[in-house]
Amino acid sequence: MFSRAASHYDLLNHLMSLRRDVAWRRRLVATLDAAPAGAVLDLATGTGDVALAISGRRVLGADFCYEMLHLARRKGGRRGTPLTLVAADALALPFADDEFDAATVAFGIRNVSDLEAGIAEMARVVRPGGRVVILEITAPRHLRRFYGMWFDRVVPLLGTVLGRDGAAYGYLPASVKRFPEPRELAGTMAAAGLGDIRWQLFAGGIVALHYGRVRA
């Protein structure tokens, strides 16, 4: 499914979010300013937007979809910023404990079959005191009528018309509906070994940015 979506992934993301996804990724990167400079793992890197936005640090992009990684490599080449990329399973990352100073994931953690295990893997590969940052779509407490119409009707229609793959974009609202609300996600992060957890909401609560530090 992700392989089929790869070629039109960026376009549909921009359309679905009215291009606000660019600003939300920048906010994610801004949270790294408080983290020590050093190596960053960008999990579920997709076509590499977060990895390309992180500057002043060594960044490695990881994804389980080869087609996404191929597009990320091409995008980095076009921008004159070659990316270091690796195919990896989020539930069994091929990295040593404490290998990175921070780990990020944007709009990908809800695709992991075991959420707590996925976050725990991110925490495992980040050194104590390092930051784990999660940007994800979530169910808002308000705007529920608009939210339901947009994700249940408009998003699959966009996927059908522009990407010729309504099934892939029908998956999106289903995955969002089973994803925990912000406070519950913070609890899952704490159970996975993170502390000092905070979050910010964007777009009326439709998007949440969580960040926490790996406990010593």
At 165-197, the pLDDT tens digits run: 556 666 666 777 778 999 999 999 999 999 999
169 located within any domain = no
Dist CA 81 CA 51 (whole Å): 10
**Residue 163 carries which side chain, given as an amino acid letter?**
G
152 located within any domain = no
- CA 211 from centroid of its chain's CA atoms: 12
Dist CA 175 CA 179 (whole Å): 6
Confidence of residue 60 (pLDDT cuts 50, 70, 90): very high
154 located within any domain = no
Question: What is the mean pLDDT of the segment spanning 120-137?
Answer: 96
Dist CA 182 CA 200 (whole Å): 9
SS (H, E, C) the chain: CHHHHHHHHHHHHHHHCCCHHHHHHHHHHHHHHHCCCCCEEEECCCCCHHHHHCCCCCEEEEECCHHHHHHHHHHHHHCCCCCEEEECECCECCCCCCCEEEEEEECCHHHCCCHHHHHHHHHHCEEEEEEEEEEEECCCCCCHHHHHHHHHHHHHHHHHHCCCCHHHHHHHHHHHHCCCCHHHHHHHHHHCCEEEEEEEEEHHHCEEEEEEEECC
Is a pLDDT exceeding 80 seen at residue 56? no
19 located within any domain = yes
Q: For residue range 69-127, what is the model confidence (pLDDT) as tens digits?
A: 999 999 999 999 999 999 999 999 999 999 999 999 999 999 999 999 999 999 999 99
115 located within any domain = yes
174: Cβ contacts below 8 Å, ≥ 6 apart: none
Least Cα distance to 36 among 105, 97, 102, 99 occurs for: 102
Is a pLDDT exceeding 70 seen at residue 214? yes
112 located within any domain = yes
CATH number at residue 77: 3.40.50.150
110 located within any domain = yes
Our count of domains for the chain comes to 1
Copy the structure tokens of residue 109: 């953690």
Q: pTM value? A: 0.87
pLDDT of residue 149: 63
**Per mean pLDDT, which of 114-118, 138-142, 145-149 is the most reliable?**
114-118
Confidence of residue 156 (pLDDT cuts 50, 70, 90): low
Which domain covers residue 94, as residue numbers?
2-137+180-214
Query: What is the pairing mode between strands 100-106 and 40-43?
Result: parallel
175 located within any domain = no
